[in-house]
Amino acid sequence: MDRQDTGMMKGVAILLMIFLHLFEYRDVVDQCHNLIIINDIPLVNILSHASNPVAFFLILGGYGLYKVYQRGDQHHYSRLIKLYIHYWIILTIALIIGHNLYPETYHGSLMQVLDNATGYQTSYNITMWFLLPYVVLSLCAPWIFTFYKRFRAIHIIVVTLALRMVVSYIFRHNVGDFKFDPLINNILLVFYLLFNFSLGAMAARTRFFERLGAIVSRVKGYRWWAWGILTVCVLISLKITYDCIYAFCIITCLQYASIPKVIKKVLIKLGNQSMNMWMIHSWLCLYLFKDFIYSFRYPIIIFLVTTVISYACSLIINLLSRPIEHWLMPRSDINSRPIL
């Protein structure tokens, strides 16, 4: 899997994330003009259960970070600095707009602002819940990967999967919805996210996609087989909500499926802006401009409008962040790839 492939997968991931946040809540979806309804449930609400965007980003992040670790990572800290520069710009703009539109909601103490600025507590935008845990994983990645060298890939996958299951049990049977003490919550989330992150890293270490590609390329019509398997994965995921293996199966199938060049180019462009779009889209559709976004009524139009506006805003954020990056970062680090 090369850089273009990971860019395309990030494009898929950000589309899934936008789709999920737009249509996961039944009360909102019921107000749309839904053309297809199955058993009194709108189709878009059903399909939202086939979205697991965080797992996509984690697998791709683990994969990419392991690749640069193998080559000798020269931009380890610059990627994190770039992430926070973009996050702070977006958060600042969102809070200024939010304070003017909804002053009773967007105020608070200096401590609350600092909590949100670091990602320690994301009370202003709950969809940012995995920001700090993922930053911790990225920051510790060189040491994690060095430690992993002592063990076989299958052992790492089994142990991290077990850790995820334990943390899931704790969340599910205690208070749920990540309502622990913030410090405990963030520590648990690191271990919760570790499995998909490690899955991507071990795929890079074992050259999984390259080896599998050598096998499937011998199968006649394998690109159409990939679409068939992809469909089965989606159907299964509708029953097994947020299954942690699902994202890896989709990424694997898309590696070998026949995708038109135009669609690939669009996905790559979206993938290149995925970090900003992740941090922007939820402000648009859940917090600041919800009435405007859903005023388009039809799910497909709502989805396209949110995606286009998020992409356009991302380009603006890039322009605003560039001078700050030039000021804070060495010139060699400015063009380093983002960690999401």
Weakest mean pLDDT among 81-85, 95-99, 182-186, 245-249: 245-249
Q: What is the pLDDT of residue 236?
A: 61
At 100, which amino acid appears? N
The rounded distance, in Å, linking the Cα atoms of 258 and 230 is: 12
Q: Which two tokens stand for residue 283?
A: 């402000």
Q: What is the pLDDT of residue 241?
A: 47
Residue 253 has pLDDT above 90, yes or no: no
Percentage of the residues of the chain whose pLDDT score is greater than 90: 53
Sequence spans of domains, the chain: 3-334
Contact status, residue 277 vs residue 18, Cβ threshold 8 Å: yes
Angle between helices 182-205 and 246-256 (to 10 degrees): 30
Q: What is the pLDDT of residue 228?
A: 64
Q: What is the pLDDT of residue 140?
A: 94
Q: What is the pLDDT of residue 202?
A: 96
Residue 221 has pLDDT above 70, yes or no: no
Q: What is the pLDDT of residue 308?
A: 98
**C-alpha 49 chain-centroid distance:** 15
Residue 206 has pLDDT above 70, yes or no: yes
Q: What is the pLDDT of residue 231?
A: 66
Mean pLDDT of 187-202: 94
Q: How many CA atoms lie within 13 A of 290 on its CB side?
A: 14
Weakest mean pLDDT among 12-16, 30-34, 227-231, 248-252: 227-231
Long-range CB pairs of 32-37 (<8 Å, 24+ gap) are 32/294, 32/297, 32/298, 32/299, 32/302, 33/297, 33/298, 33/299, 34/299, 35/298
More confident call, 76 vs 96: 96
Mean pLDDT of the chain: 86
Summarize pLDDT for 106-150 with one digit per residue, the tens: 877 888 989 999 999 999 999 999 999 999 999 999 999 999 999
Mean pLDDT of 270-297: 95
The rounded distance, in Å, linking the Cα atoms of 39 and 24 is: 17
Q: What angle do CA 312, 313, 316 make, to 5 degrees?
A: 95
Mean pLDDT of 243-258: 78
Mean pLDDT of 169-185: 73
Ordered alpha helix ranges (H), the chain: 3-23, 26-29, 43-47, 53-71, 76-101, 110-118, 131-148, 153-173, 182-205, 208-216, 222-239, 246-256, 261-272, 274-282, 290-294, 299-328, 331-334
Query: pLDDT category, 191, cuts 50, 70, 90?
Result: very high
Residue 316 has pLDDT above 50, yes or no: yes
Segment (H or E) for 149: none
Residue 91 has pLDDT above 90, yes or no: yes
Task: Give Cα separations from 115 to 129, 182, 183, 190 (angstroms).
Answer: 12, 10, 11, 17
DSSP 8-state code for residue 126: G
Q: What is the pLDDT of residue 203?
A: 94
